[in-house]
Amino acid sequence: MLRQSLTAKLCERDRGELHVHMNGAIPLSIIQNILADESTELPPDFLIERDLVRYTPCQSLASYLTPWQVLRLFPKKRENLDRLTLAVVASLAENNVRFVELRSSVLYLASLQNSSPTQALERLIESSRAAADQFGMRLGLILTVTRGDYSSVALSTLLQAYQNLGEPEDVVGLDLAGDEEIAYPSELPSLYRKAKDRFGLGITIHAGETGRVDNVRAAVKLFGADRIGHGTAASKDPYLLDLLARRDICIEVCPISNRLTGAVPDDEEHPLLEFRRHQVPFVICSDNPAIHQRGLTDDDAAAMTEGLSASDIYQQFEVAKRFSFIEGLD
């Protein structure tokens, strides 16, 4: 009875979500409705029931990312952007999320809707504001750039759209995501640092998800990261852990995702406990909850299974507020 009572209290706790991808948080029913409405043709051999969800660990990160073959094909219609944004925020609200930093690729949206990046960003802001207002949630947008030869151009394009709209406070940060084995232009880190200095945007970098410790170090020293997305590989380097602790850089830990992507193999202890031992701040996040058919509440439970205490979980709301890029959180 005591354990059931504790579990109920943990389910009811207020939450902050600092690492969730918009297209990985869209409920399956909404995806199917939009695909039908927009007459979207699926890739050859892609089966919604088999390929759009992830229940068991994948052989690689690339395998885990198979759903994005379809998730990048919509929404083509403005009204469907509104539908999916509202559905994403509603599902977060069901997990008692009080504030969220939602990651989105505006350049994909611009391409899908045949609009300029400025128009696409404006539409995303309008949709997210309306959804957040309906559920009484604070929402900030993190603009995502994908690693690759054109990532510097992509970042500059996004920042120009941001400036064209008068530097709206809805945009709170910048992200770098994608395959960590893919090289990026040498000037990219300095562009992130300049954006941080000029606009006051927070910097979060996907790093150390695929086993490369050096990527975490580069995120800190070259990009000026305030937070690290996943960062599981950092646990293998005590000196890097000490650096993260000393600079008070928060790790965005996604327990369910970490196991499903293979970032943390089944036969290894989750780095959460190593982070705690080295006093590296971390926050529990959900990453792609709809793909997992789970929510942030489930990630809390998974973190406890990995060794966190109920006290650790209760502290998470305050930790999320402390490291959030959204200003003025009570």
Q: What is the pLDDT of residues 79-109, one digit of tens each?
A: 999 999 999 999 999 999 999 999 999 999 9
Bridge partner residues of 230 (DSSP): 207
pLDDT for 146 beyond 90: yes
Average pLDDT estimate for 142-148: 97
Q: Residue written as tokens 């068991």?
A: 56
Give CA–CA dist 62/64, Å, rounded: 5
pLDDT at site 244 = 98
Give CA–CA dist 170/167, Å, rounded: 9
Q: What domains lie within the chain, and their CATH numbers? A: 15-321 (3.20.20.140)
Amino acid residing at 95: N
Give CA–CA dist 121/109, Å, rounded: 8
pLDDT at site 172 = 98
**Furthest C-alpha separation in the chain:** 57
Question: What's the predicted TM-score (pTM) here?
Answer: 0.95
pLDDT for 3 beyond 80: no
CA triple 172-176-180, angle to 5 deg: 160
Confidence bin at 8 (pLDDT 50/70/90) = low
Q: Residue written as tokens 């975490």?
A: 216
pLDDT at site 2 = 38
Confidence bin at 7 (pLDDT 50/70/90) = low
Q: Pinpoint the alpha helices (H) of 97-212.
A: 106-112, 117-135, 151-164, 188-199
Confidence bin at 266 (pLDDT 50/70/90) = confident
- The mean of the pLDDT values for the chain is 94
The residue among 72, 146, 154 whose CA lies nearest residue 108 is 72
pLDDT for 1 beyond 50: no
In angstroms, the Cα distances linking 214 to 104, 219, 275 are 26, 9, 17
pLDDT at site 10 = 67
8 Å CB contact between 102 and 20: yes
Percent of the chain past pLDDT 70, that is, above it, reads 97
Q: State the Cα torsion 301-305-310-314 to the nearest 10°.
A: -40
Average pLDDT estimate for 14-22: 97
Give CA–CA dist 153/12, Å, rounded: 43
The pLDDT tens digits for 279-313 are: 999 999 999 999 999 999 999 999 999 999 999 99
Cis (ω within 30 of 0) for the bond into 289? Answer: no
Average pLDDT estimate for 16-36: 97
The residue among 286, 280, 284 whose CA lies nearest residue 308 is 284
8 Å CB contact between 229 and 207: yes
Q: Where are the beta strands (DSSP E) in the chain?
A: 15-21, 97-104, 138-146, 171-177, 202-207, 227-230, 250-253, 282-284
pLDDT for 11 beyond 80: no
pLDDT at site 33 = 97
pLDDT for 196 beyond 50: yes
pLDDT at site 6 = 52
pLDDT at site 330 = 75
Average pLDDT estimate for 223-236: 96
pLDDT for 249 beyond 90: yes
Average pLDDT estimate for 170-183: 95
pLDDT for 14 beyond 80: yes
Average pLDDT estimate for 129-134: 98
